[in-house]
Amino acid sequence: MSENEQPLDLPRFSDLPLRDELLREVEELGYQHPSPIQAQSIIPLVEGRDLLGQAATGTGKTAAFALPMLERLAEQRPEQARGDAPFGLVLTPTRELALQVAEAVTRYGRGVGARVVTVYGGAPAGPQWRALQQGVDVVVATPGRAIDLMNRGALRLDALETVVLDEADEMLDMGFVEDIETLLDATPDTRQAVLFSATMPRRIETLAQKYLREPVTVRIRREAVPEGEAPKVRQTAYLVPRSHTTAALGRVLEAERPTAAIVFCRTRLDVDAVTETLTARGLRAEALHGGMDQEHRTRVVERLRSGRTELLVATDVAARGLDIDLLTHVVNHDVPQSSEAYVHRIGRVGRAGREGVAITLVPPSKVHAIRAVERLTGQPIEFAPVPTAADLRAARLERTSAALRERLVDDLLDTGSGTDDGVAAMIAGLAAEFDPADVAAATVRLLQAATGAPDDAEDIPVVAAPRAGERREPRGRGGAAGTRPPKAGTTRLFVNAGRASGVRPQDIVGALANESSLSGRDIGAIQIHERHALVEIPEHAADDVLRSLRGGTTLKGRRTNIRRDRGFATAGRGRRD
């Protein structure tokens, strides 16, 4: 909505209890009407109330807490009476966000002489220390560096009047809850506390109950989408062992071939590792996280918008605020920490009536989280099998066939160009010596060998989701982590070799079928762990099989023992990985 289209009853910034110095800065930035989160937050915050706010990124939360903080600073501490201790503290999850917030607070606070200092990890602490010693009104900080400087005596919180938690859900997801509590416990009981979050999981509500006093609650819902433009999102989950998540992701993306996608990861290390894996598969992927400067971030996003990159691998915080209209896929490498976070992520696709795809890689222990999303949204999420090695081969052949057809048609239409690169003569020479079909097949195989990922010859282990009401045994408490009791009529064998030895399901099937009376059809679920494997076989055949394998069998060139699994009968053996 343009400025001229604003509803007549929408307040203007000049209607809010802000001094002229602040209003001038807002006006110079071109703003006349506050956003909904600003309109509902500024008055109670100026009055000194605690506040719990929920609104998506890009709705104006920074001004919603910065303008009231600066108003109270100017009122309670005139410039000539300000000392070394800060008036306000803003905590953010990343350096990037801290710099953005500090820049905005500095701009808003020019007219009231606000001194703003940014402190964050990953940079020398000395300059930040000296900046604090020179006097500061508002400190914008990441939690870890704030605690470090507080413990050194450089950051004083004893006279703090306002503390703000910005993007609180992200800080908790990143493991900062203890740091946040340490900092809040160091602030005066009389200080104002403000908490803003894009999502509102139970952990945020618990934090608010502990540290906020009778807070005003502001929740800004997303604008209603006009009829006919509602999101159309196909939601699919893939059930995979946690150790195979990244490999499964590569296969799913190769099968989907998205035009423009964001792949969400939990940490920076995950972002870098996933980007490397996807790039090795020949997919055009680039990383985006808080460790990158703004110029790099801008270049990466522009490459996705222009089609030069098809996959953006990012953390939640780094991707917040991105608005990419042509996004086709949102992919969760890890199940989001809350149902609200899942909804927040997939809201980026399927806009303006276009179709979008949401993909989630789910370990068995997280199936309950997907069910919670279904309950929240009222929409089913389909579970699909991870593409097998055979599926990938078929898909690659289909793409190769289509590419060859297109090139052959182009070459036929381009016969008058006179181009001679020697390829046709080479093929003619080979065809005189070999069958032309064999020459073509060998060419395609060479091409696929050059582009395929090294683990594509192996299928990713199939795991079963827990049945409704079924409780998975915890690690070291009477069963293998992530496993269930054998099905009725079967028993489970324990094999003392696993992924570390390169063992695959087909190796176990081959050993049992070759050295016992079992056929491949008799062998049930196989679970490969790091240093052992479990395989289900018919109970009535177990004794004969074990007699046949007495003395062990050979798997991957090493002697391996197989016996009945005692995991659900004997607790605390400590042999499970």
* Structure tokens that stand for 457 in this block: 């010859």
Whether pLDDT at 500 is above 50: yes
pLDDT-based confidence at residue 214 (cuts at 50, 70, 90) = very high
Asked if 156 and 104 touch (Cβ cutoff 8 Å), the reply is no
* Nearest residue to 290 via CA among 259, 311, 321, 261: 321
Q: CA 233, CA 347: separation in Å to the nearest integer?
A: 9
Strand partners, 358: 235, 330
* Structure tokens that stand for 226 in this block: 């006009």
What average pLDDT does this structure show over 403-409?
Answer: 76
* Nearest residue to 88 via CA among 48, 43, 57: 48
Least confident residue range of 64-68, 164-168, 178-182, 456-460: 456-460
Q: For 270-387, list the strands marked E by DSSP.
A: 285-288, 311-315, 329-332, 355-362, 382-384
pTM of the model: 0.52
Least confident residue range of 63-72, 103-112, 438-447: 438-447
Q: CA 517, CA 67: separation in Å to the nearest integer?
A: 78
Domains of the chain: 3-219 (3.40.50.300), 232-386 (3.40.50.300), 490-564 (3.30.70.330)
What average pLDDT does this structure show over 65-80?
Answer: 91
Asked if 304 and 293 touch (Cβ cutoff 8 Å), the reply is no
Asked if 500 and 530 touch (Cβ cutoff 8 Å), the reply is yes
Sheet of strand 533-538: strand arrangement: 526-528, 533-538, 490-495, 562-564
Least confident residue range of 139-148, 298-307, 329-338, 395-404: 395-404
Highest-confidence range of 166-180, 396-410, 442-456, by mean pLDDT? 166-180
Give the pLDDT of residue 10: 63
Q: For 170-303, list the strands marked E by DSSP.
A: 192-197, 216-219, 232-239, 261-265, 285-288
Query: Over the stretch 526-544, which tens digit does the pLDDT of each residue have?
Result: 888 878 888 888 888 888 8
